[in-house]
Amino acid sequence: MNEPVETIYFGGGTPSVLSFSDFEKILYALYSIFGENENREVTLEVNPDDLTPDYLSIVKFFPFNRISLGIQSFDNRELKLLNRRHNAQSAIQAVERLQQAGYGNISIDLMYGLPGQDEKIWAETLRQAIDLQVQHISTYHLTYEEGTELHKQLKEGSITPVDEEMSNRLFEILTDMLTATGFEHYEISNFARAGFQSRHNTSYWNGTHYLGIGASAHSYNGFSRQWNYKTLVPNYWTSGCEIEILDEKTKYNDFIITRLRMMKGMDLNELTALFGDSRKTRCLQRAQKSMVSGLLIYEDNRLRLTRKGVFISDSIMRDLMD
């Protein structure tokens, strides 16, 4: 690859199980191949319970300048439901430990739409996150993945999912509380204080090329997507990866999905440059229904979701896709 590497992200699993020597080998290889860059964003995902003083001393030795904590909730009942090893207090301590160590770019993940969750519980979790003065918050609605314990409990009827009305209300509380306290809602699921948008994730949404290293890692070069095999044995090192060559239709649909996720919206000048005038015309025609319904706004040659549109963004995107 001849393109500069602007961000590095250790995640997509549990990188906090890596030892000092593991980090040393990986980062030495990365910097040997791609060179030094003092402005590079280097993120490490960490579970709160792994962030002991000893482990923090390892992390501090390496050039990580952004830490992402998978907290999910500050409610102990919810954490138990999610089978998380940490509790609310240890999550708070993990953030404070990072701050005391000098980290000024901390992101936390939170989850809403959990069984039994109501406005009060969710607001308390958000209030705790705000009080901790982190720079970035990523939020995700619970999905019931087949094969998980929560999916099993759902099928057995031992838990009841929140309804759509409650989900919308929880999202409204999320948006109101975070924007009122200085966070910018810059992407459907992400909020950041000024200057602290995730450069790495924003690259995905802007169509920047990326290289995935390790089991299950994905790569994209503008013409194809590649993904590595899920396990390291028996033949990971000799089997290469699977590849999907992207046709024009797929590229266009990917453009719709990624660009419309950003609150700044989709630049139709870029759409025209990549796919031609006819696709822009068709896109605007398909967008008319959502514009009339107050779900999309068209201004400055951009299409962007309204606050109302964010709730049903998936269906709006489907309407615009080929």
User: Residue 234: is the preceding peptide bond cis (ω within 30°)?
Assistant: yes
pLDDT of residue 235: 67
118-to-131, 162, 184, 298 alpha-carbon distances in Å:
20, 9, 24, 35
Same domain for 88 and 192, yes or no, is yes
Distance of CA 52 to the CA centre of its chain: 25
Same domain for 197 and 294, yes or no, is no
Is residue 273 one of the residues assigned to a domain?
yes
Same domain for 11 and 157, yes or no, is yes
Is residue 30 one of the residues assigned to a domain?
yes
Boundary (domain end) residue, out of 203, 234, 265: 203
Same domain for 150 and 273, yes or no, is no
Provide the residue count of the chain.
322
Same domain for 98 and 36, yes or no, is yes
Same domain for 281 and 174, yes or no, is no
**Contact in structure between 206 and 274 (CB atoms under 8 Å):** no
121-to-15, 92, 117, 133, 219 alpha-carbon distances in Å:
30, 17, 6, 19, 38
What is the Cα–Cα distance from 4 to 72, expressed in whole angstroms? 33
pLDDT tens per residue across span 47-78: 999 999 999 999 999 999 999 999 999 999 99
Same domain for 178 and 258, yes or no, is no
pLDDT of residue 229: 83
pLDDT tens per residue across span 99-148: 999 999 999 999 999 999 999 999 999 999 999 999 999 999 999 888 88
pLDDT of residue 3: 78
What residue ranges in the chain does DSSP mark as E strands?
7-10, 41-46, 66-72, 106-112, 136-141, 184-187, 190-192, 218-220, 224-228, 241-245, 266-267, 296-299, 302-305
Same domain for 48 and 141, yes or no, is yes
Between 215 and 283, name the one with better pLDDT: 283
Is residue 239 one of the residues assigned to a domain?
no
pLDDT of residue 279: 96
CA–CA–CA angle 127, 13, 60 (5° rounding)? 70
Q: What is the mean pLDDT of residues 302-308?
A: 96
Between 159 and 287, name the one with better pLDDT: 287
Among residues 163, 90, 179, 53, the alpha carbon closest in space to that of 126 is found at: 179
Is residue 231 one of the residues assigned to a domain?
no
pLDDT of residue 91: 97
Same domain for 302 and 183, yes or no, is no
The number of folded domains in the chain is 2
Residue 134: Cβ-neighbour burial (10 angstroms; 0-12, 13-18, 19+):
buried
Is residue 117 one of the residues assigned to a domain?
yes
Q: What is the mean pLDDT of residues 88-108?
A: 97
pLDDT of residue 236: 66
pLDDT band at 270 (very low <50, low <70, confident <90, very high): very high
85: CATH:
3.80.30.20
64-to-53, 109, 120, 204, 292 alpha-carbon distances in Å:
16, 18, 35, 20, 46
Res. 1: pLDDT tops 60: no
Q: With the C-alpha atoms ordered 318, 320, 321, 322, is the resulting torsion angle positive or negative?
A: positive
Q: What is the mean pLDDT of residues 39-49?
A: 95
pLDDT tens per residue across span 4-31: 899 999 997 677 788 999 999 999 999 9
Boundary (domain end) residue, out of 203, 228, 257: 203
pLDDT of residue 228: 87
pLDDT tens per residue across span 228-243: 888 776 666 667 788 9
Same domain for 274 and 154, yes or no, is no
Q: What percent of the chain has pLDDT over 70?
A: 97
pLDDT of residue 15: 79
- CB within 8 Å of 288: residues ≥ 6 apart: none
Q: Which domain holds residue 85?
A: 7-203
314: CATH:
1.10.10
Boundary (domain end) residue, out of 188, 203, 218: 203
Is residue 19 one of the residues assigned to a domain?
yes
pLDDT of residue 215: 83
pLDDT tens per residue across span 171-190: 999 999 999 999 999 999 99
pLDDT of residue 2: 65
Which two tokens mark 261?
């996720």
Q: Return mean pLDDT, the chain.
A: 93
Which string of b and e fits 7-29 if b means at least 16 CB within 10 Å? bbbbeeeebbebeeeebeebbee
Is residue 305 one of the residues assigned to a domain?
yes
pLDDT band at 41 (very low <50, low <70, confident <90, very high): very high
Same domain for 257 and 158, yes or no, is no
Same domain for 185 and 258, yes or no, is no
Is residue 225 one of the residues assigned to a domain?
no
